[in-house]
Structure formats: structure tokens, C-alpha cells
Amino acid sequence: MKKRSPMERKEAVRLDPALRPVLWVAILASFVAFLDGAIINVALPAMTDDLGGGLALQQWVVDSYLLTLGALILIAGSLSDGFGRVRILRLGLILFGLASLACALAPTGGVLIASRAVQGVGGALLVPSSLALIMSAYRGAARGHAVGLWTGWTGTSAIAGPLLGGLLVDVLNWRWIFAINVLPIAVTLMILGRLKEPSSVQSRPPLDVVGAVLAAVGLAGIVFALIEQQRLGWSHPGVAGSLALGAASFVVFLWWENRTAHPMMPLRLFRIRNFGIGNIATAFIYAALSLGMLMVVLFLQQVAGFSATQAGLATLPVAMLMLLLSGTFGGLAARFGPRVFMAVGPLMIGIGYLLMTAARMPVNFWTQLLPGLLVCGLGLAITVAPLTAGILSAVGPVESGIGSAINNAVSRIAGLIAVAFAGVILGGVLDDAGFRRVLVVVAILAVVGGVISAWGIRNGSTRGGPGDGTPEVAPE
């Protein structure tokens, strides 16, 4: 087989200008959903000052969004594959925009909680459809580069959210963190109007309503138990019953998905080596990322005495490294395979968090935290795009919608459970000693994700070259 020249390889990763609207739509649609999940934390105290409700309102404002998002993102992947990426993206954008306006205008805590739940439904429609749009439009190294750009921008929105949230709360008020969503949604809908639905849209299978309900009950039961056990204790009937109901629902969910003719989470996909192993690694890596970044932001505000805006500024080095380097590492992974990047990147993330265990009171951000944040940001840039492209290339473009949905569900649920365990690790108090304990746990999670990738991921996991859509199934 003739080897390509360096110039030919450079051409392979040059993105087709005609496909730029596809990339912009995918980036903007996901940007809104990821930003909303990250921006909310710094605004919670202002919300309760205005609406009352205390800690209970704060928890439900966060959880109502995450529960509907995590529970429905799987069925949203099936909708994307069966009804078309463009159509589902349009529905998700409109739903998310209307819910954002309802949140911004909410007169009571109950209305705000309900509106956040609707936002989660819209977010579930946006993320898998946007990434599937890229997977169906690009091929080979160009796909890796496009996924890298998508990952960089969306990852940056999630990590830089606290900065924007702090500025909006400090300068205006908390309602603007929702109202600001309207502008990017309007721009995205305008660009989306220029796109035509790909001709490869599949026939529409029946929706897996039973699976969606079981997933929602399972997720809600387990999350409720993990959060409320700190207040009520594990022996409380509500906590114990919720945990048992959630666990039983997940067991029945897996049984049902293996039995039904049209599952929203086809278990056969996990027999594809890179898809199955990649999602296990995703669970550990995103658990580390979600818990670690949350603790850094909270530590800076509640222990080190930073304002919300200052704490957001502290995350900018990570965001900039993700933005500048994700596309490069996505392209490199497309050429050389994802394995080494998925192994080395999480190891660097773990090292970065261990470096931050140098934090002592009084905190010196420049010497105690910044070096670790830089190493962590580099590790993220190395990891995320190769991980995403490697997993989705394993299933191919035909099932990229459901593949993306499963991977997103794994990452969201892993992060949600990791954050729910934060109180157990901290012992109920966030101080510099508790912060260091959390960082050690986070580093271990990240390193385990890298070890799993090094052991299980295989380069060239599709027959006939990257992205041709023919998965290699692990032997029985």
C-alpha cells in the first residue's frame, strides 16, 4: 500500500469549507448545553436569596436538570438515528430556549425547578445529535480533527462556565445566566436552516419507552439516596428504599434492553472492544474531571476566599489549553490511533491533581494550584478528543447517534455519582485537608481510566480504516 506524503497527510485533515456550517451547528448546539451545566453552581446562593428554599432548592435546581438529561439522553440518541439529526437538533434547540426563558422569568422555586427539568430534556436532544452530525459528515483524519474542535469548544464551555456565571451574577443578577442562552440558540437555528437532512436517515423504530422509564427511576433513586444519606442516614426508610428501588430498576433496565427488539441502549454495542472499554474508561475519567473541577472552584471560594469571578478566572488555563490543543490531538489520534493518548492523558490529569495537593492555608494560587491546573489542562486536551473519536469510530456513522448518547450518559452519570460522594470523602467539611483527600481520590480515578485504556483500547478498531463504520467485535 502506497504511503501518503506529508503534504497528502496535511490535506487529509484540512476541513472542507462546505462543511463548516455543520461544524458550527454542532459546536454551538452542544456549547449551550455544556455551558448551562457548568454555569449554574456559582449562581445558586443568589437564587436562594431571591426565591428562598435554602439548600433544598439549590439541590433540586441542579438535580432536576441532571436527572432528565441523564435519563433521556439515551433515547435521544435513538431519536437522532431514527428521525434525523437536523430535525432533532431543531426540536432540542427550541425546547432548550423556551425552558431557558422560563427559568429566567421564574417567579417561584417550584417553577424554576420544573423549567430546569425541561431544560434537561432539551439538552438530552442536543448533545448526541450534534456529535452524530459531525460523525456522519466527516471521514478519516478530518473527522478526528473536527471532533477535536468540537471537543475543545464544548469542553471549554463546561470548564469556563464558572467564570461567565460569576461575572453575570456579580454585574447583573442570576436570571441572566439563563437569559443569555437565547442568543447562541437563535444563531444556531439560523445556521441550521441552511442544512439539509442527510439521506442516510434510518427507518423509525418504536421508541423504548419502558427502557426510558426504568433508566429515569434507576437514576433518580440512586442519586436521591447518595445525596440525602448525608442528612437522613443510610438506615432511613426513604434513603434505603430509594437506593433499593434505583438499583432494582437498573437491573431490570439491563434485562429489558437485552430482551426488547428496539432497545434505546443496544447492549451488543458493548461487545465492540473500543466502544465497551472506552466507556469504562470514560466513567473513571469523567468522574475524576467532574469531582475535581467542582472541588477546585468550591475550595477557592469557600476556603481560599476568592470571589465567584476570581474562582472562574482560575479555571481559564485549563479552558485555554483545551481550546488550543484539542483539535491537534484529535488529528494526531486519527493518524496514530487513540490508545497512547487515552493512556497518557489521564495519567497527566492525575499528576495535575496530585500537584494541587500542595495547597495550604493561606493559599498561594500561583505556586500551589496553577502548576497542577496547567498539567491537568494538558492531560485533558490529550485525552478527550481521542477518547470521543475512538469510541464513536468503533460503532461507525450509522449508529453514531446512539453511540454518542451512551458515551454522554456514561460521562454524566459518572460525574453525578462522583459528586454525590464528595460529602463522604470530605467528612462533611470542606477545608484544606479535606480538599487534599478529594484530590487524591480524583487522581486515582483518572489514573485508573488511563490504565484501562492502555490495557484495552486497540488502534485500528474498524476494518478497512478509521471511520468506515464497520466495527470489530471482540471475540466471544
CB under 8 Å to 354, separation ≥6 — which residues? 372, 439, 440, 443
Residues 183, 120, single domain; the answer is yes
pLDDT value at residue 444:
94
Whether residue 12 is contained in a domain is answered as: no
**pLDDT tens digits, residue range 304-319?**
888 778 877 887 888 7
**pLDDT tens digits, residue range 62-94?**
777 877 887 787 777 667 666 677 778 888 889
Helices (H), 84-208: 85-105, 109-137, 140-171, 176-179, 182-192
Q: How many domains are contained in the chain?
A: 2
**Domain limit, last residue, from 237, 263, 289:** 263
Residues 84, 100, single domain; the answer is yes
| Site of grid cell 505556586 | 367
pLDDT value at residue 474:
36
Nine-digit cell string for 196: 439539509
Q: What 8-state DSSP symbol labels residue 367?
A: I
Residues 259, 269, single domain; the answer is no
Cα(354)–Cα(373) distance, integer angstroms: 10
Whether residue 136 is contained in a domain is answered as: yes
**pLDDT tens digits, residue range 16-57?**
555 667 777 777 777 777 777 778 877 777 787 788 776 567
Nine-digit cell string for 141: 483524519
Whether residue 461 is contained in a domain is answered as: no
Q: How far, in Å, are 5, 53, 303, 375, 426 from residue 429 at the CA level?
A: 58, 22, 10, 27, 6
Strands, E assignment, 351-451: none
Nine-digit cell string for 70: 441523564
Q: What is the CATH number of the domain that holds 88?
A: 1.20.1250.20
Residues 247, 101, single domain; the answer is no
Residues 287, 345, single domain; the answer is yes
Residues 316, 447, single domain; the answer is yes
Residues 256, 292, single domain; the answer is no
Whether residue 249 is contained in a domain is answered as: yes
CB–CB of 61/112 below 8 Å? yes
Which domain does 214 fall in, by range? 208-263
Nine-digit cell string for 170: 456579580
Length of the chain: 476
Whether residue 1 is contained in a domain is answered as: no
CB–CB of 289/349 below 8 Å? yes
**pLDDT tens digits, residue range 228-283?**
776 777 788 888 898 899 889 989 988 998 888 778 778 888 888 888 888 999 99
CB under 8 Å to 405, separation ≥6 — which residues? 73, 74, 75, 76, 77, 78, 80, 127, 128
Nine-digit cell string for 419: 459528586
Residues 238, 284, single domain; the answer is no
Residues 226, 373, single domain; the answer is no
CB–CB of 133/86 below 8 Å? yes
Q: How far, in Å, are 48, 347, 407 from residue 338 at the CA level?
A: 45, 15, 16
Q: Which amino acid is at 216?
A: A
Query: For the CA atoms of the chain, what is the radius of gyration?
Result: 21
